Amino acid sequence: MSAPAPVLEARGLRRQLGGEIPTTLVDGVDLVVQRGEFLAVTGPSGSGKSSLLYLLGLLDLPSAGEVLIDGAATSRLDEDARAALRLKRIGFVFQFHFLLPEFTALDNVMLPMRALGVLPEKAMRGRATELLSQLGLAAHVGKRPDQLSGGQRQRVAIARALANDPLLILADEPTGNLDTASSDQVLATLRKLVDETGKSVVVVTHDPALAARCDRRVHIVDGRIAEDRRNARANGEG
């Protein structure tokens, strides 16, 4: 029996901006992310980390190369098909939570489920409540973002990313706007997702503590992979 396809694969991925002097953001990246893998993407500012993440998440189109999600090529999909694939298969967490301020935590988590349109209202509410409870937010489901701490808001954002049970979570500097205690909470949440649910997580980060807790670290310099190595598993849960 053949092994399952990687959750995510990049083949010869390149992103170049036109203009009088073309700028290459991502330059010939080959990358494979397996099921249940926690991968950190590190590198100096301007190295192409976030540009790579946006390509991997189908938020931007490559100038050359291919992104495969669960073994399926994506380069020939039209924008509607790409959007549908993102909604079903990929969850996003950003440095700023982007929660809708007028909505409660519960309603924010339900947004991707409403967009997908598969579950009835009662089931959506039940799933959103369960996700928030799993992330330690059972007492805060009815609160708006301005009634939550920074760490709580980011955990709501993680619950929202999980709403449609995606294969893959992509996180861009998820602890970059948080204090140390809140960063530790978010880091522990992401680590737990990988260890207990088998989700694959790719996180762009400048945070050495977060990178050290991942299974693997890819270091980007000038749009290229300069190093790809596995980490020794971190001690403790964080």
Could you read off the pLDDT tens digit of each residue along the chain, which spans 238 residues? 566 789 999 999 999 887 777 888 999 999 999 999 999 999 988 889 999 999 999 999 999 999 999 999 998 899 999 999 999 999 999 877 789 999 999 999 999 999 999 999 999 999 999 999 988 899 999 999 999 998 899 899 999 999 999 989 999 988 887 888 888 888 888 888 898 888 899 999 988 888 888 999 999 999 999 999 998 754 444 3
Pairing of strands 200-204, 90-94: unpaired
Looking at residue 119, which CATH number applies to its domain?
Answer: 3.40.50.300
User: Which residue carries 């939550």 as its tokens?
Assistant: 148
Q: How many domains does the chain have?
A: 1
Closest to 190 measured CA to CA, from 42, 32, 37, 9: 37
Q: In degrees to the nearest 10, what's the CA dihedral of 104, 169, 166, 80?
A: 90
In a domain, 63, yes or no: no
Between strands 8-17 and 64-69, the pairing is antiparallel
Q: Is residue 27 part of a domain?
A: no
Amino acid identity of residue 116, one-letter, is: L
pLDDT at 46: 87
Pairing of strands 64-69, 72-73: antiparallel
DSSP symbol at 137 = -
3-state secondary structure 172-220: ECCCCCCCHHHHHHHHHHHHHHHHHHCCEEEEECCCHHHHHHCCEEEEE
The answer to the question of residue 17 being in a domain is no
What pLDDT shows up at residue 2? Answer: 62
Q: What is the domain extent for residue 204?
A: 34-56+79-230
Q: Is residue 65 part of a domain?
A: no
pTM value is 0.89
Residue 7 lies in a domain: no
In a domain, 16, yes or no: no
The answer to whether position 67 is within a domain reads no
